[in-house]
Amino acid sequence: MTTLPVCPRSQRSSLRDGSICVALGLLLSASAAACTSQHNSGTAIHLKIDAWDDVEQDKLIANWTWAGNARFLLECATGAVVPLDVTATMPGLNFVRNVTVDGRTYAAFGLSGRPRSPLLIFRHETWTSNSGEAQVSTPLDVRVPTHIASKPFNNPDRGSIVLVAAVSRGGVMEPFPATLLGPISRVSPLYPHLAKTDTFTVTANLKVPTCTLSDTPVSLVDVAVADLPASGRFAGERTFDVAMNCNRAIPIELVLTDANLPGNTGSLLTPTANSTAGAVRVELLREGKPVELGKTWTIPLTQDGSQNIPLAARYYREPGTFHGGVVEGQAIITATYR
């Protein structure tokens, strides 16, 4: 505020010679600029990673997470610029590489001593309670302090939040229990007595692709000795399905082996101790042809859920003394994936 007082009365009569008397007084006043207090001093933030353990590299596997109340500094001057310094103390993190998420570059960190852990990224956002105000979003490198210049907001409050997310490392990742990372603090250099600190914890619950196979007893119908008149003849063929259930669609390899003679590479199963018939075995088939025990075949992509593996079995007469009785064989089917 500026005031221009008139000359004192006693001087007015002496101004006949054209001289001018001006008394200038300046009285300055301004609105208070200081942020007077803070809404809260921070909170605990827990990032939970629930994802497959082999997601393609640098894909977001846990969305941006924060907690608590965004408000920080209160009753700041409307339109004032309030910078912040953001400092992390996270000695248990190791820088791995820079990653790009939604067009922005972030420093990505893994857990010390866990070379296959998912990667963590951080960002800071300045907030106001005025919904029309744009946020200032800044990627954070938690190895070094970050100075955020901010900008003038048309609102007396200032908010500050730190968000954490996870991205895939590439390859097969390892899960880990709840692990304390440490604090990230925000302080304005204009108001160093006011600080907001969030403490971060992360848990990785990673899902492993799995498939289960069901035991499948198969009973062949009885046949007469006359149905197998010579060596190399077969009879009583029966189709059956082995049930398989996978928790997601994955490529797998399958192999059948002889339970009683693992090195068997033919199609005829070794008779079990319960077998009493002579010169007769159980033969396994796949897609209408005798299998090759011990040889793998591929399903390029399983179903997500249950599906059947179609097979067949039949009696097969081989050379030797032939007579009726019980014929029994056992096979093991194994699924290999990843």
Q: What is the pLDDT of residues 195-223, one digit of tens each?
A: 999 999 999 999 999 999 999 999 999 99
CB 196 within 8 A of CB 38: yes
pLDDT(78) > 50 = yes
pLDDT tier at 129, thresholds 50, 70, 90: low
pLDDT tier at 82, thresholds 50, 70, 90: very high
Which tokens belong to 115? 């070379």
pLDDT digits 0-9 by tens, 156-199 = 889 999 999 999 999 999 999 999 999 999 999 999 999 999 99
Report how far residue 282's alpha carbon sits from residue 89's, in angstroms, rounded to the nearest whole number.
68
Which of helix, strand or coil describes residue 11?
helix
Report how far residue 329's alpha carbon sits from residue 282's, in angstroms, rounded to the nearest whole number.
6
pLDDT of residue 130: 60
Q: Is 58 left (phi over 0), alpha (psi -120 to 50) or beta?
A: left
pLDDT tier at 134, thresholds 50, 70, 90: low
Residue by residue, DSSP assigns 139-157 as EE-TTS-EEE-----SSS-
Q: What is the largest CA-CA distance in the chain?
A: 153
pLDDT of residue 34: 83
Average pLDDT, the chain: 90
Which tokens belong to 81? 């610029």
pLDDT(22) > 50 = no
- 135 and 236 together in one domain: no
- 192 and 220 together in one domain: no
Last residue of a domain, which of 207, 224, 245?
207
Report how far residue 141's alpha carbon sits from residue 124's, in angstroms, rounded to the nearest whole number.
10
**Tokens 């730190």 map to which residue?**
162
CB 21 within 8 A of CB 4: no
- 103 and 178 together in one domain: yes
- 127 and 60 together in one domain: yes
- 170 and 262 together in one domain: no
Is residue 149 a part of any domain in this protein? yes
Is residue 254 a part of any domain in this protein? yes
DSSP, res 9? H
Is residue 22 a part of any domain in this protein? no
pLDDT(3) > 90 = no
Which residue range forms the structural domain that includes residue 73?
37-207
pLDDT tier at 155, thresholds 50, 70, 90: confident
* Residue 122 CB-density burial (10 A; 0-12 exposed, 13-18 middle, 19+ buried): buried
Is residue 13 a part of any domain in this protein? no
- 232 and 187 together in one domain: no
**φ, ψ for residue 174, nearest 5 deg:** -110, 140
pLDDT of residue 15: 38
CB 285 within 8 A of CB 237: yes
Share of the chain above pLDDT 70, in %: 88
Quick one: which H or E segment has residue 10?
Answer: helix 9-12
pLDDT of residue 12: 40
pLDDT of residue 174: 97
CB 15 within 8 A of CB 172: no
- 237 and 98 together in one domain: no
- 179 and 48 together in one domain: yes
pLDDT tier at 5, thresholds 50, 70, 90: very low
Question: What is the mean predicted confidence (pLDDT) over 83-105?
Answer: 98
pLDDT of residue 4: 35
CB 128 within 8 A of CB 157: yes
**Tokens 């409050």 map to which residue?**
157
Q: Which of 180, 135, 189 is nearest to 162 (CA)?
A: 135
Dihedral sign for Cα atoms in the order 134, 100, 168, 336 = positive
Last residue of a domain, which of 150, 173, 207?
207
The domain that contains 269 carries what CATH number? 2.60.40.1090
- 129 and 276 together in one domain: no
pLDDT of residue 225: 93
Distance of CA 317 to the CA centre of its chain: 56
- 146 and 60 together in one domain: yes
Report how far residue 158's alpha carbon sits from residue 177's, in angstroms, rounded to the nearest whole number.
35
Is residue 2 a part of any domain in this protein? no
- Radius of gyration of the chain, Cα coordinates, nearest whole angstrom: 39
Is residue 153 a part of any domain in this protein? yes
Q: What's the number of domains the chain is made of?
A: 2
pLDDT tier at 27, thresholds 50, 70, 90: very low
Residue of higher predicted confidence among 17 and 110: 110
Q: Of the given ranges (80-84, 89-93, 116-120, 318-322), which has the lowest mean pLDDT? A: 80-84
pLDDT of residue 24: 39
Last residue of a domain, which of 180, 207, 234?
207
The domain that contains 117 carries what CATH number? 2.60.40.1410
pLDDT(33) > 70 = no
DSSP, res 6? P
CB 183 within 8 A of CB 88: yes
pLDDT digits 0-9 by tens, 277-308 = 999 999 999 999 999 999 999 999 999 999 99
- 290 and 325 together in one domain: yes
pTM of the model: 0.78
Is residue 3 a part of any domain in this protein? no
- 70 and 196 together in one domain: yes
Is residue 266 a part of any domain in this protein? yes
pLDDT(6) > 50 = no
